[in-house]
Structure 1
Amino acid sequence: MPRLQCPRCDRPLDRCLCALIPRLSSRTRILILQHPSETRHALNTARFAALGLLNATLKVGEVFEDLPTLLTQPGYAAHLLFPGETALSLAQVAQHTTAQPMLLVVPDGTWRKARKLLHCNPLLGSLPRVTLPAGKPSRYRLRKAPAADAVSTLEAIVNALDLLEAPQRFDALLKPFDALIDGQIDAMGEQTYQRNHLGHD
């Protein structure tokens, strides 16, 4: 018999994380475009961002027919959080904030799947790009990342909001994320975690 799932956080009912998910306001609007493969991932961090932020939307798909409407939210300037030759560091952008808040579009998936989202939705390529400053290590201890500062979607959103809306902090969004990681490590056992996820730098 399949385990009962929480309809909100999509975790097994006996491991529901809803009590740890905050409800935070932000001036910045977050639009998460999630590749369908991520919905089946045990560590679906983007869902926590969508649940924890009042001003966030999560859309799942490869081709988003309603993208023109999603990107033209009155009062917001749309930017794509994705590296590129013309991308500006969010640290720089935060120092030159204007009266108009940002609509931050965040692709969610592996790098390959994220690039596919951009390919399937050419309108994303027309947006000005912004990136996170390098150097902040990830708390995603279960993922073999290409670099120490490669972060999960949730961490990227938290880091972006911390920069854009300082001194306000959004660390509370990471509480269910940390609990999820700890639960996964407990389930696999410390020895398995040490063998498979440590010592591979």
Structure 2
Amino acid sequence: MEEATASQSPTPQVQRRQLCTRCDRPLPVCLCHALPPSPLPTKTKILIIRHPHESRHKLNTTPLISKTLLNSTTVSSRRLLRHHLPDEAPPAIYLFPPSPSAPAVALSHLESTNLLNYRTSPLLLIVFDGTWKHAKEMVSASEGVLKGVAQRVCLDGVDENAVGGSIFDNELVLRKEPFGGCVSTLEAVARCLGVIEPNGHEVQGVLLGVLKEMVRLQAGFMKPCKPRPKMLKKTKHKEDD
């Protein structure tokens, strides 16, 4: 009696998306045409503390900052540690909204301070990259290092009582923002450098150009989000009241 042999079908291979070797984006949304030929030099040094979970998000904008700016460093960490800072730390600012216990200088008022003195030493810009929840935790965990080292600065227009935007109502927004005035890390850096860099208008324009193109390309692959049933019920109750 012949021994039956089971035919083994080949294991299907998962087709991985081909990535651009320069911008590390999938080819259909490649951003090389929007990036400068070489990273732009800045007098400001940018230090980005990126929450480890952010590396999983395909729409995270931090990698594009290092591809656009020469003096940008990204560290994966849940908090700022002393060894993340330069040995001879220059004057520093960090971006985060104010709180009752930690006031902040509005970006539009920063020029009235003595932090923007380019003749002495360059400025260090510290940015925390994460979800709103993670960013709050990161800043809180970093307060021991930040105290006495960096001045808290906030973007103008931050309002925790206002609803945040989404990709469908703002050409610069990739993900749903928690409240009004919140922006992506790339836009926050761009707006800040627009004020503190000598050629800030030019640097900001390049960064925002990259972000606008990223949003434009990505929007073609995103479907509008339908309101959840619970949210519809809440809206209806409010209208009835």
Which interval holds the TM-score relative to the shorter structure? Answer: 0.7 to 0.9
Structure 1 residue aligned with 2:4: none
Structure 2 residue aligned with 1:199: none
Paired-residue identity, %:
34
Change in Cα spacing, 1:63 to 1:107, as seen in structure 2 (3 Å) is closer
Q: What do residues 62-111 of structure 1 show as CA deviations (whole Å, max 9, x unaligned)?
A: 255xx323323536212221122321122222233223321010000111
User: Runs of 4+ in structure 1 displaced over 6 angstroms?
Assistant: none
Which runs of no fewer than 5 residues in structure 2 stay unpaired? Answer: 1-14, 159-164, 228-241
C-alpha displacement at 1:149, in angstroms?
A: 2.4
Structure 1 distance, partners of 2:46, 2:87, is 11
Structure 2 distance, partners of 1:72, 1:89, is 25
Contact 1:81–1:129 (CA<8 Å) still a contact in 2? Answer: yes
Q: Does 1:61 align with 2:77?
A: yes
Secondary structure at 2:214 match in 1:
helix
The one-letter code of the counterpart of 1:117 is M
Q: Does 1:183 align with 2:217?
A: yes
Q: Does 1:18 align with 2:49?
A: no
Secondary structure at 1:32 match in 2:
strand
Contact 2:35–2:210 (CA<8 Å) still a contact in 1? Answer: yes
Change in Cα spacing, 1:91 to 1:40, as seen in structure 2 (3 Å) is same
> What is the TM-score of this pair, normalised by structure 2?
0.69
Q: What do residues 25-48 of structure 1 show as CA deviations (whole Å, max 9, x unaligned)?
A: 211111011111111112111111
Question: How many residues in Structure 1 have an aligned counterpart in Structure 2?
Answer: 191
The one-letter code of the counterpart of 2:41 is S
> What is the TM-score of this pair, normalised by structure 1?
0.81
C-alpha displacement at 1:8, in angstroms?
A: 4.3
Structure 2 distance, partners of 1:50, 1:63, is 20
Q: Does 1:33 align with 2:49?
A: yes
Bigger mean CA deviation after superposition, 25-34 or 14-23: 14-23
> 2:124 aligned to 103, 112, 115, which one?
103
Which runs of no fewer than 5 residues in structure 1 stay unpaired? Answer: 197-201
Q: Does 1:92 align with 2:109?
A: yes
C-alpha displacement at 1:19, in angstroms?
A: 3.1
